[in-house]
Structure 1
Amino acid sequence: MALWFCLAPFLLSLLCPAWSTTAEDMDYGGVPLWIDRVLGEPSVMSLQGRSLGSSWFRATNPAPCPTQCECPIQWPTAVYCDHRGLDHAPETLPDRTQYLFLQGNNVSSLSSSTLLSNVSGLRWLIVDNNLLKTLDQDLLQNQTKLWYLFANHNRLESAPGGLPEGLRQLRLAHNRISTIGAGVFSRLHSLTVLLLQGNRLKAVSEGHVSGLLSVTLLDLSGNLFKTVPQHLPPSVQQLYLSNNSFSSLEQDSFSSYSHLKYLRLGHCDLQSPSVHHDTFNLFSLLELDLSYNKLTTTPTVPPTLLHLYLEANHIQEFNVSSFCRDEGPGSYSRLRILRLEGNRIRPHELPPDWVHCLRVLQHLYI
């Protein structure tokens, strides 16, 4: 036992990094990046700051590796060039490269002529937190096995084109994107995750998203929308629109999305008179976030809703009819979590019959 306590600090120093990166550097657009060990997918954590330095990696892996990068033997198809202050990407990569980590540098361009000239099986390209203004349209068009392209926290002004058809995730959060060219996404039939939050978009037309047949997660938070964008992919299940300024929500604002389960509309300057009473009457909806708005009364929601977040509004009127349309023992809401803290209503002001309507409620915050 004593020997274990003596060895523990040493083992931890080998296994655990002395983190020098920030949470923003590793958030990958705010959505977790799940890895499949069966497919041999590598660690998404930076190798920088670990006790085992580049000399150790080179000593244990005789395969060629760019001098400014690390190629751990346990992930032979991964090349880690992240968080090294690089102004340029490596000129060439080993032909075995499937996972390329370039985030946290000062790279302002990626040359299509040399960077991937030896590579045909690239699956991940992560270039978050760089200085990229554009992505060369010819850079990736031949990378037919590419699944993930992450370019969050750059300076992109438009959505990149020429992307391979098999792409599964495209993460472009926190750039300067103000336009999406017609047909840019038209071939991306397999795309499931599209992150565009923190950009400068004002509108999304039907031509912008045509071809997106499989998108289930779409994040458009923190843009410049004044009205809810229409013509979004009908397959969407998670739609995030927080931190926009919507003047109103119409009856049909979300009626086209029959698979919608999670809807976020926090920090959108919403007021009760401008929200149609049937806006959220979507029986597929499981979770609705309307926090930090200017609502004065509880909105009408479907009885199948499970989680409702209304904190930090101006609510002073609690209507049972917002949750239960009919009377009787068979009419009740399935709501499990209701957040009302930071409003203008107190527990003793709730109508007495709310307990019958919300009979399966597990958590009430008020």
Structure 2
Amino acid sequence: MSEIVFKFCATVSLCSLCQTELDRDHAFGDCPLADIKGGECPEECDCPHSYPVSMYCDGRGLTAMPVIPSHIKYLYLQNNAITAVPDLALMNATSLVWLMMHYNQLTSEAIGKKAFLKLTSLERLYLQHNNMTSIPSNLPRSLRDLRLNHNKIEKVTPSDLQGMDNLTILYLHDNAVTDMSTSLKGLKSLTLLDISSNKLTQVPEDLPEHLHQFYLESNTISSLPDDFLQRFTQLQYIRLAHNQLTDKGIPPNTFNVTGLVELDLSFNKLERIPLVSTTLQHLYLQANQIKEFTLGSFCSVVDVTSFSKLRTLRLDGNEISREDIPSESSFCLRLASNIEV
């Protein structure tokens, strides 16, 4: 009798029905592989009782998508050899909140155009370290964290990210992007944007105004647009290292904006120290062609209340020495514990 009921227990949606027939000492979750809301955990994955809405399939050598029970919210598929996401692969997984598929072998052609269409609750989608040449179609508009770095993406179009009002983090670094057009314009919640290590020759247009961290290093940008940072009220960190920036390519007062905490302009072609805000705390200018230490770049007036908040200043790898630093710099840069020349 117990064996018959036990088999029935694995197929019905309510294990509590079995509980009345089995020994009273059995716990509610003892029905093997039973999925309370329908479907069984695939044998190649792990669905621990302590995390009933999580499914761990990472590092299992998978080459294809497993069957996903409808109640699963957190799906871990990273570190496999999955090559495709067919249209129907996620049809039953409408409760997903996190989908981790980084470090697989996905190509853009093998991801169905409707594969992510029904994931209306998805917040995190990790697709980094795959072989995609474009952003998948019809990504969920509910996304908050999208990671596409370390792929082979060449272009980002406005339709790729359209309607993603909740997106706050976008990783696109280490791709082959040459053009972003106005694709970022509608991302009104975006606070972190990393598009470093691409093939960009200019700063993307219509950037979201609530950016807090903006990473652009390792591109081939030679100039910045007028009023580049004026519209950002919350920007604190910007990295432009390893580009082709020259003095002529940086409009006056570009970096003289209140609120900026860290500015990285290292490994460019600057010959002068640009004017920066007195609120800036960390400035990286190493490996440029700077020939003069201009104290006015940091302080226009020096008194008891007016001085630079700079704490880190790197000027090593330029054409100046410590003897080029004027003695009065100690008043202006009184908080800088170490100036590297």
Normalization by structure 1: what TM-score?
0.78
The answer to whether the 8 Å contact 1:236/1:260 transfers is yes
Aligned to 1:295, the other structure's residue is in SS state: coil
**Aligned counterpart, 1:66:** 42
User: Are the structure 2 counterparts of residues 362 and 122 from structure 1 closer, same or farther at C-alpha, using a change threshold of 3 Å?
Assistant: same
CA distance in 1, matches of 2:127, 2:305: 50
The answer to whether the 8 Å contact 1:61/1:71 transfers is no
**Aligned counterpart, 1:197:** 173
Residue 136 in structure 1 maps to residue 115 in structure 2: no
Match of 1:310 among 269, 275, 285: 285
**Aligned counterpart, 1:126:** 100
The answer to whether the 8 Å contact 1:61/1:73 transfers is no
RMSD: 2.1
Match of 2:145 among 136, 156, 169: 169
Residue 225 in structure 1 maps to residue 200 in structure 2: yes
State the Cα distance separating 1:76 from its structure 2 match: 2.2
State the Cα distance separating 1:327 from its structure 2 match: 4.1
| Cα displacement string for residues 238-267 of structure 1 (whole angstroms, at most 9, x for unaligned residues) | 110000111222432333323211100011
Q: Which amino acid aligns with 1:138?
A: K
**Aligned counterpart, 2:121:** 145
State the Cα distance separating 1:100 from its structure 2 match: 1.1
| Cα displacement string for residues 156-202 of structure 1 (whole angstroms, at most 9, x for unaligned residues) | 12222312222111111011112223333221101100111111222
User: Are the structure 2 counterparts of residues 137 and 317 from structure 1 closer, same or farther at C-alpha, using a change threshold of 3 Å?
Assistant: same
Q: Which amino acid aligns with 2:105?
A: L
Q: Which amino acid aligns with 1:269?
A: Q
The answer to whether the 8 Å contact 1:161/1:185 transfers is no
State the Cα distance separating 1:295 from its structure 2 match: 2.1
Q: How does 1:239-258 map to 2 (within 5 A)?
A: 239-258=214-233
Residue 325 in structure 1 maps to residue 306 in structure 2: no
Aligned to 2:313, the other structure's residue is in SS state: strand
Q: Which amino acid aligns with 2:135?
A: A
CA distance in 2, matches of 1:209, 1:83: 34
Misfit runs of 4+, over 3 Å: 59-64, 327-330
Q: Which amino acid aligns with 1:116?
A: L
The answer to whether the 8 Å contact 2:157/2:181 transfers is no
| Cα displacement string for residues 209-246 of structure 1 (whole angstroms, at most 9, x for unaligned residues) | 23211000001101111122221111111110000111
Higher Rg: 2
CA distance in 2, matches of 1:238, 1:187: 21
Give percent identity, aligned residues only: 39
The answer to whether the 8 Å contact 1:60/1:73 transfers is no
For structure 2, the 5+ residue unaligned runs are 1-29, 35-39
**Aligned counterpart, 1:16:** none
The answer to whether the 8 Å contact 2:125/2:146 transfers is yes
Normalization by structure 2: what TM-score?
0.83
Aligned to 1:183, the other structure's residue is in SS state: helix
Aligned to 2:160, the other structure's residue is in SS state: coil
**Aligned counterpart, 2:130:** 154
CA distance in 2, matches of 1:357, 1:251: 28
